[in-house]
Structures are given as structure tokens and as C-alpha cells.
Chain A
Amino acid sequence: MLEIKNLHVQLEEEDKQILKGVDLKIGAGEVHAIMGPNGSGKSTLSYVLSGKDGYEVTDGSATLEDVDLLDMDPEERAAAGLFLAFQYPVEIPGVGNMTFLRTAVNAQRKSRGEEEMSAGDFLKEVRARAKELKIDADMLKRPVNVGFSGGEKKRNEILQMAMLAPKMCVLDETDSGLDVDAMKLVSEGVNALRSEGRSFLVITHYQRLLDHIKPDVVHIMANGRIIKTGGPELALEVENNGYADILAEVS
């Protein structure tokens, strides 16, 4: 599904290397987790995959189903099936959540040559999905993320993911800011989307999320590289011992 090879990334504005050769391969239907110390480059990886300005790829590649991602505009990547749940979802005053969702769904459909969703079908679908995530009608009407609590913003990200039905979902610290119940809700939302044709890359600091969303593979990222890859037990090891041992082991 997603294949990242030797990815080197630096900032456009300053001469600072952030990703220093990332290799990662996620098969269809798999769930991978990335853990790693603050500032190791996890969010940067997610931004570079989704096409944010300000980063320069100096070496390496990233493909989604063998299609070069790095050459595309962000909207093309989205239409190709990539989705990023932001670590910090963005507030957009003046743009209604519903309008936003509908515009996004139909823009993706259009660019794939599919028919747009009718207003009625869309409304039905949104209401059903929102209900599962305990997002009330009022939140749907309000401007995108404006005045939403931290947890509400994260749930709103999952709602978008559910509506857009992407193939490759990157979740950047979707668990941060969630209370215990919301964490369960969000995990259930994610698990409901798990399927053979859909893969996940879950960035997190905590084992707790991985209790709910069981990963097939866990990667440890440090200083711009994946330094260790293993099974779910690797997350437990981090939870118990921190990163010191792993960092020492590789250096």
C-alpha cells in the first residue's frame, strides 16, 4: 500500500535535515504504529506524505499503491486515497463543518471521475457516522473546529476519515487530548474502518491507544530514522522502559 524508501527531508527555509533516511513498507490491510521521542520527525513524516509546503525532499521516495506521492498536489494525494488525521486540527472560521465535509467528499469524487453525492445521501451518511462518534448536530453546523474542545477536534478528524473512506490513513497522535471514553469511541471508529483494502499508520506516544487499535507492526523513530521495528510487544517495552534502552542498543 504505502512504501517509503530512504526518505530524506530538510526544511525549505533553513538548512536543517529532519528526516534522514526513512524506510517503511505497509501492506494492504495492515496497521502499523510509529512511536518515538518528541521531535524525532513523526509529524514531519506525516506532513511530507500529505504534501505540506515548507519541506524539501532531498532523497528517497514515497509511493501509494506504486504511484509516486511526492509529485502530487495535496488534493491529488487525498483523491488517491491518502488521509492525515492532524495532530493539531485546524480551525476555519466562516466555513461550516457540513459544507467543508461535503465539499471535500464531492471534490474527491469528482477528481476520481465519480458522481457527486446527493445532498440527501450525504446528510444521511454524515448523521449516521456522527452519531457513532457522538458528534452532535450542533457541532456539524458550527464552523470547522472553531470552539471545539481538544477531544471534539480529534473526533471530528475521525468523522472526516469515515466520510472520505481513504485507503491509507495516517493518524498523528489522535489519542492526545482524549478522555478514556472518547479514546474508546475513536478507537471503535477506527476499528470499524479496518478492512483488507485499507491500511493505517498510527503515530502515538502511548501503549493505551494500541490496546484498542491493535497494530500488526510497531516502529520506533528517533532522530529522523526508523531505528527499530517489531511486533506489538515493542510498544509495551517502550511503555515500561522508555526509549533509553532502544537508543543505546542501536548506537
Chain B
Amino acid sequence: MKNLFGRSLFGRTWLIAVFIFLYIPIVTLVVYSFNDSRLSTAWTGFTFKWYVDAAHDRELIDGLIISLKLAFMSATLSVIFGTFTAFVLVRYGRFKGRGMLASMANAPLVMPDVIVGISLLLMLVAMQKWLGFPERGIGTILLGHALIGTSFATVVIMSRLREIDHHLEEAAMDLGCKPFQVFALVTLPLIAAALVSAFLLTFTLSFDDVVIAAFLSGPGSTTLPLVIFSRARLGLDPSINAVATVIIVVVSIGVIASSLYQLRAGRRRQREVAEAYAQVKN
């Protein structure tokens, strides 16, 4: 089927407008990361010096390492908690408190980050006053990120769990699997792709968060977005453009590779199904 919308003049103009809107800021950033001048108003020549600067900037590098660690831990926790929550919500039918669990799992999705951040901060301050811990730092940011990440992971994993035929799990049990074996041998492999998506999603959520980190960070836990944010307030620093460009390149390669892989897997599957039926006819 021809896509009429994409072929009409209006459709094309619209498409171009959207691309410009989405990508002009990114292109600008990439271009200025190679600009010789410190000012973003004029192009004075090509340079790699901001990349060299960034590579020697301890604050940036530390921020990057903290952010990566944090995002990794937050994504891991989110996927683990999200899997359990989704499993309970989808597979256990009706039980007392199901509605409450479902809405609590969804609440952080719609709650503004500012509110999540400030409410966690209030709680932590109170806890610190009465119990003497926890000290604010990576652990507390992780708490906030895992909280939001769990909601997102739950939604992603739930939609996949709903799709898979629960007879598969019954068949496994019928063939001699105890419940945890059913989970490990059948359910888990079937939701693996969703677990990866959930991991990537929650990783990104944590990696680019400023708001919650700003509320919950303490000494020694300045994440990369916090570094960038505080520098940007002091005036733009081209080495940040350089760091951003590196991140964009890494992410783009990842996205392109995974979509190419999915496209090819989908095509191969279609071909195999067609072959199976063609053989029967002959």
C-alpha cells in the first residue's frame, strides 16, 4: 500500500518541518562542539580542542562515571521490581489490594518529577532527623530513580506479559515444572525482549534526570546532568558540547543497530513462516 500522506506535498512539508524542529538543536550542538571560538555566536574555525579539554576535565569525567553507575543500578533494580510487580498484576487474577497496587505502580508515571523529588527529600530529611540515616548521596538518588523506573518497567513488562498465551505456562506446569521453573524456563525467555527494553528505558530515564538528582544528591554524588546544568548557568562551555556529541553518537549507533537487527529478524521470521506453508502445499 502506498502511503498517500507521505507522498502529498502537505505530507512532505510537514515531515520536513518535524525533522527540522527535532534535529536542528542537536545539529547546532554538534556543529558548535567543533567551533574554535568559546562563544556560540560566531564560527571561527574547526577544532578538536574541546574534546581534548573534556577528556581532561575531572569533574565531567567523574560525573559521567557516577551517572553511568547510577543508571545501571537504577535500571537493574527497576527491571527486577518491575518484573515482580507486573507478574503479580497480570498473573495473579483478583486479590485484595490489587487495585491499590496497580494505581501505586502507575502513580509515579504521571507524578511530576519535582513532586517526587521534593516528597522524597522531605521524607529523607525527616528520617535523618529521627534515625540519623541515610546520608544524601548516590544511594538516595538511586532510591528516587528506581522508584520512577519501576513504574515504567512495570508498564513495559506488563504489556508483554499480557500478550503471551498463559496456556504456555500451564503447558510447562503440565509437563512437570514447579512454579519457579515455569517462570525461569518459559516466562522469562518470552519476556526477555521486554526486559531489555525496560532496562534501556529506565537506564535513559536515570541517566538524563536533573530534577530528582538535584533534590536528592549530596556531596560526591554530582551526576553528569547536574554538572552540565550547573556549568550552563555559569555560561556555556563548549567542552560540554563535546561530551554531549559523544553521547549522541553512542546512542545513535545503539539505536540504529538495534532497529536494523529487529527489522532483519522480522523479515527472516516472515520468510520462514511462508516457507513452512509453501512446503506443505507442494
B partners with A: no
Interface residues of B (CB under 8 A from A): none
Interface residues of A (CB under 8 A from B): none
